[in-house]
């Protein structure tokens, strides 16, 4: 068994018939004017809820949404999520008007087998992020059994994540089990060669992950704005590209250590540049080392993207976390798109590690061609750093 799942009971161990089950889901979806922009996390929660309903359970679902400051905020109401859940489950989802107040308690107590109740936003109550005992007690009083299916929140020691399994019998849902199985496999026994493609804005966000991956990967390909810190560390001029000067020495040492171990480190050989950080800025492609002083890199170039695609095509395992450029703007999307297409057609086992890279594969319509798209950005990174996730630790018996 995957070591991350050792001591963790799963849905296969749970007889939920006739029981009221509290499901901590991750329904933290982006909203625009009250409309869900990307429903991946809602869709990902459905198999666990459906499995419990099929067993004859009554299901109380809870999640946070956005960043309310411990007080009710209509802009972060769970109502749009409840409406989408109703569509996906094909059954009416009741929505409480509060978290642990009179309405939530009344509706939970009246819940019949086969029915679903969605609580209001957990973070409307300050007790959630404070991991408050009284708030955890109130949540626990709503159900008989706890199921954690919120991988995206499993790195938070919050009341609904760590407080509840201290009060109720706890189980991992299908999504959490799958995330731990897949990402744990990359940590312990990846098919080789193992290629990690890392991008995004800041090296400082990924440095612990990079250091942990050096123990495991065969090829490391770097893109995004963080690549410019790597390039400066190699003595390359990057014009006005953004980089983290305080990380240059550490990155230089990391590259040297990687190459000493025989790990292939791929850095951009050409980049797409512009005079300003703007969607409408004129884009040109230049070789690395020839970036004009008044230009900044906003995407990897075609030569670089082709080189990265070549190593992805021969990989046994691929992990991708972080876009190669500002993919939201068409002029600077080609590098990220090429990498996404290479991952989608790779014969190896492919994992996209949440966050912006997950958004990119969905935007390009390639998510169904990837073996696993993680729902947890921060949780994925902490797991890949080698950290213990509080939500998982709290389920161990």
Q: What is the mean pLDDT of residues 23-33?
A: 94
Tell me what pLDDT residue 209 has: 87
Q: Which helix (H) or strand (E) covers residue 393, if one does?
A: helix 390-393
- Specify the range with the lowest mean pLDDT, choosing from 22-26, 33-37, 148-152: 33-37
Helix (H) or strand (E) holding 106: helix 102-109
| SS3 at position 341 | helix
Q: Roughly what angle, to the nearest 10 degrees, separates helices 203-213 and 226-233?
A: 70
CB atoms within 10 A of CB 205: 17
CA distances from 358 to 95, 298, 329, 364 (A): 29, 19, 16, 10
Exposure on the CB side of residue 316, measured as CA atoms within 13 A: 11
> Can you name the residues that pair with 221 across neighbouring β-strands?
197, 266
For residue 1, the model assigns a pLDDT of 54
Cα separation, 148 vs 171, whole angstroms: 6
Is pLDDT above 70 for 268? yes
Give the span between the Cα atoms of 36 and 187, in whole angstroms: 33
Q: Which of 41, 84, 107, 156 is catalytic?
A: 41
Output the CA–CA distances (angstroms, integers) from residue 100 to 24, 122, 139, 229, 347, in the order listed: 14, 9, 6, 47, 48
Q: Per-residue pLDDT averaged across 376-380, rounded?
A: 84
Residues across the chain: 397
Average pLDDT over residues 242-268: 95
pLDDT at 116: 98
Q: Give the Cα separation of 108 and 235 in Å (integer).
A: 62
Active site residue 206: no
Q: Out of 50, 105, 167, 202, which one is annotated catalytic?
A: 202
Please state the rounded mean pLDDT for residues 105-123. 98
> To the nearest whole number, what is the mean pLDDT of the chain?
95
Question: Ramachandran region of residue 226, left (φ > 0), alpha (ψ -120 to 50) or beta?
Answer: alpha
3-class DSSP assignment, residue 23: strand
The pLDDT-based confidence of 353 (bands split at 50, 70, 90) is confident
- Residues 295/319, Cβ–Cβ less than 8 Å: no
What is the rounded CA–CA span in Å between residue 152 and residue 132? Answer: 20
Q: Can you tell me the mean pLDDT for 60-64?
A: 98
202-254 confidence digits (pLDDT tens): 888 888 889 899 889 999 999 999 999 999 999 999 999 999 999 999 999 99
Rounded Cα distance, 376 and 353, in Å: 7
**Dist. CA 26–CA 160, nearest whole Å:** 11
More confident residue, 382 or 57: 57
Question: How many CB atoms lie under 10 A from the CB of residue 344?
Answer: 18
316 catalytic per annotation: no
Q: Higher model confidence: residue 380 or residue 154?
A: 154
Residue 344 has pLDDT above 90, yes or no: yes
Task: Produce one character per residue of 88-100: b if its CB has 16 or more CB atoms within 10 Å, e if not.
Answer: ebeeebbbbebbb
3-178 matches 190-384 in fold? yes
Q: What is the DSSP letter of 248?
A: H
Question: Could you tell me if 72 and 32 are in contact, meaning their C-beta atoms sit under 8 angstroms apart?
Answer: no
Average pLDDT for 363-376: 92
Query: Is 41 known to be catalytic?
Result: yes
Q: How far apart are CA 284 and CA 279, in angstroms?
A: 13
Q: pLDDT band for 4, please (50, 70, 90 cuts).
A: confident
354 pLDDT higher than 80: no
Residue 29 and residue 358: Cα distance in Å, rounded? 13
Task: Spot the catalytic one: 199, 200, 325, 355.
Answer: 355
CATH 3.40.50.1260 fits 3-178, yes or no: yes
pTM: 0.90
Q: Where are the domains of the chain?
A: 3-178, 190-384
CATH class of 190-384: alpha beta
**Looking at 316, 362, 378, 396, which residue is catalytic?**
378
| Dihedral angle sign, alpha carbons of residues 98, 99, 101, 102 | positive
Catalytic residue status for 202: yes
Tell me, what's the pLDDT at 386?
A: 85
Q: 185 or 60, which is more confident?
A: 60
């Amino acid at each position: 068994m995957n070591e991350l799942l050792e001591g963790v009971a799963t849905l296969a161990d749970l007889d939920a018939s006739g029981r009221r089950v509290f499901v901590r889901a991750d329904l933290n979806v982006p909203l625009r004017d009250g409309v869900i922009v990307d429903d991946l996390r809602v869709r990902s929660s459905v198999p666990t809820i459906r499995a419990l309903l099929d067993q004859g359970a009554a299901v109380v679902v809870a999640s946070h949404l956005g960043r309310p400051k411990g007080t009710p905020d209509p802009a972060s109401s769970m109502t749009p999520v409840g409406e989408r859940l109703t569509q996906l489950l094909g059954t009416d989802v009741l929505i409480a008007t509060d978290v642990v107040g009179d309405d939530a308690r009344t509706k939970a107590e009246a819940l019949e087998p086969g029915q679903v109740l969605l609580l209001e936003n957990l973070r409307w109550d300050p007790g959630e992020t404070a991991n408050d005992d009284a708030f955890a007690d109130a949540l626990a009083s709503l159900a008989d059994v706890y199921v954690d299916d919120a991988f995206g929140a499993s790195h938070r020691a919050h009341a609904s994540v760590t407080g509840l399994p201290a009060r109720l019998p706890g189980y991992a849902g299908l999504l959490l089990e799958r995330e731990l199985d897949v990402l744990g496999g990359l940590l312990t026994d990846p098919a080789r060669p193992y290629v990690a493609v890392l991008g995004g804005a800041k090296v400082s966000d990924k440095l612990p992950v990079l250091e942990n991956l050096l123990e495991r990967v065969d090829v490391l390909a770097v893109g995004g704005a963080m690549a410019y810190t790597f390039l400066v560390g190699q003595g390359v001029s990057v014009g006005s590209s953004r980089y983290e000067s305080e990380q240059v020495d550490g990155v230089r040492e990391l590259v040297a250590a990687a190459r000493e171990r025989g790990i292939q480190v791929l850095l951009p050989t050409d980049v797409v540049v512009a005079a300003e950080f703007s969607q409408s800025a004129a884009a040109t492609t230049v070789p690395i080392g020839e970036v004009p002083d008044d230009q900044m890199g906003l995407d990897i170039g075609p030569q670089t993207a082709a080189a990265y695609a070549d190593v992805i095509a021969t990989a046994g395992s691929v992990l991708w976390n972080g876009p190669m450029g500002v993919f939201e703007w068409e002029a600077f999307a080609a590098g990220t798109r090429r990498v996404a297409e290479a991952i989608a057609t790779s014969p190896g086992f492919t994992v996209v590690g949440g966050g912006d890279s997950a958004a990119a594969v969905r935007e390009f319509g390639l998510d169904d061609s990837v073996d696993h798209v993680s729902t947890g950005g921060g949780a994925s990174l902490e797991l890949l750093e080698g950290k213990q996730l509080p939500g998982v630790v709290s389920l161990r018996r």
